[in-house]
């Protein structure tokens, strides 16, 4: 069995369509080494910044536990060979002092990643449930109720992990200047240099399904969780 990587490993986590790609690309600009990632797709013209082998591993673990990205299992049991594969994939991300990866599925397969890399660091992104639902409807023709259910599942896991590890959170619904300021604050909190960003990865024209209507129409559970996430994210604004 190979050793756990001694360098820093950062995982960008959050629900699908919640700004994790934008946050990952922004951190990549200032030194987060991601390995070979997707830099374009139909629904994200700057790429989702995901490493396909890591996505495939997460999908494999989910399928073995009777689930998928849109059918989260309550628990995910990892085989020892899968834990070892996670270490190998992280070791292959690059030679830099700080490497990382992004895949929303990681919130569903979290236990194995914590077993593989106990000192892994996290940074989270979240977005208004209505905006996520609208984006999933556009991308996957997903019904609104199913999208809300997924938003709750993923973000409950995000909130639970935050309570244990207290990592930075970024609100993807912020106005452009405030969002860029939040990313810079997160970078500083993670000992990365935001001065290296240069031209921002973030582009307002690529942010779809913008929500400005507040939480009045949300189910209570989503409204409360969204409020909690926004409250904690203010520290990095």
What local confidence, expressed as pLDDT, does residue 45 receive? 60
Is 115 within a domain?
yes
Q: Name the range with the highest mean pLDDT among 25-29, 33-37, 77-81, 213-217.
A: 77-81
Is 177 within a domain?
yes
Range from 87-96, 133-142, 195-204 carrying the lowest mean pLDDT: 195-204
Q: Name the range with the highest mean pLDDT among 80-84, 91-95, 181-185.
A: 80-84
Per-residue pLDDT, averaged over 62-72, amounts to: 98
| Interhelix angle 220-233/144-165, nearest 10 degrees | 40
Higher pLDDT, 120 or 42: 120
Burial class (CB in 10 A: 0-12, 13-18, 19+), 75: exposed
Per-residue pLDDT, averaged over 126-138, amounts to: 94
Residue 47 pLDDT greater than 80, yes or no: no
Q: Is residue 62 within 8 Å of residue 56, measured between CB atoms?
A: no
Higher pLDDT, 171 or 31: 171
Taking the whole predicted model, whether its pTM rises above 0.85 is answered as yes
Residue 46 pLDDT greater than 70, yes or no: no
Tallying the residues shown for the chain, one arrives at: 237
Structure tokens at 154: 């993923």
Is 2 within a domain?
no
Residue 57 pLDDT greater than 70, yes or no: yes
Q: Is residue 46 within 8 Å of residue 197, measured between CB atoms?
A: no
Residue 1: band (very low, low, confident or very high) from pLDDT cuts 50, 70, 90: very low
Residue 206 pLDDT greater than 80, yes or no: no
For position 136, which CATH number holds?
Answer: 3.40.50.300
Per-residue pLDDT, averaged over 87-100, amounts to: 94
How many independent structural domains does the chain possess?
Answer: 1
Is 65 within a domain?
yes
Give the span between the Cα atoms of 134 and 145, in whole angstroms. 11
Higher pLDDT, 129 or 4: 129
Higher pLDDT, 200 or 159: 159
Structure tokens at 225: 């969780």
Mean pLDDT of the chain: 90
Residue 41 pLDDT greater than 70, yes or no: no
Nearest residue to 209 (alpha-carbon basis) of 158, 139, 106: 139
What local confidence, expressed as pLDDT, does residue 52 receive? 95
Higher pLDDT, 121 or 218: 121
Is 198 within a domain?
yes
Q: Is residue 179 within 8 Å of residue 3, measured between CB atoms?
A: no
Q: Is residue 15 within 8 Å of residue 127, measured between CB atoms?
A: yes
Nearest residue to 18 (alpha-carbon basis) of 184, 178, 158, 186: 158
Residue 84 pLDDT greater than 80, yes or no: yes
Per-residue pLDDT, averaged over 19-26, amounts to: 93
Per-residue pLDDT, averaged over 210-237, amounts to: 86
Residue 193 pLDDT greater than 70, yes or no: yes
Is 222 within a domain?
yes
Q: Which domain holds residue 228?
A: 8-236
Q: Is residue 83 within 8 Å of residue 112, measured between CB atoms?
A: yes
Is 29 within a domain?
yes
What local confidence, expressed as pLDDT, does residue 148 receive? 95
Is 3 within a domain?
no
């Amino acid at each position: 069995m190979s050793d756990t990587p001694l360098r820093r490993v950062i995982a960008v986590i959050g629900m699908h369509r919640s700004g994790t790609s934008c946050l990952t690309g922004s951190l990549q600009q200032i030194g987060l080494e991601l390995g070979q990632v997707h830099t374009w797709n139909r629904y994200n013209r700057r790429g989702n910044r995901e490493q396909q082998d890591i996505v495939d591993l997460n999908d494999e673990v989910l399928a073995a536990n009777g689930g998928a990205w849109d059918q989260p299992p309550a628990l995910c049991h990892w085989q020892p060979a899968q834990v070892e594969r996670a270490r190998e994939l992280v070791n292959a991300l690059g030679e830099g002092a700080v490497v990382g990866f992004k895949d929303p599925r990681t919130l569903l397969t979290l236990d194995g990643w914590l077993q593989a890399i106990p000192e892994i660091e996290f940074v989270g992104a979240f977005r208004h449930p209505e905006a996520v639902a609208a984006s999933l409807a556009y991308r996957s023709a997903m019904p609104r109720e199913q999208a809300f259910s997924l938003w709750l599942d993923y973000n409950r896991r995000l909130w639970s992990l935050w309570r244990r590890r207290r990592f930075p959170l970024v609100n993807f619904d912020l106005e452009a200047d405030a969002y860029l300021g939040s990313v810079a604050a997160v970078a500083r909190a993670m000992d990365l240099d935001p001065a290296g960003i240069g031209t921002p990865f973030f582009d307002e024209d690529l942010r779809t399904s913008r929500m400005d209507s507040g939480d009045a129409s949300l189910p209570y559970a989503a409204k409360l969780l969204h409020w909690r996430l926004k409250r904690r994210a203010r520290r990095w604004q």
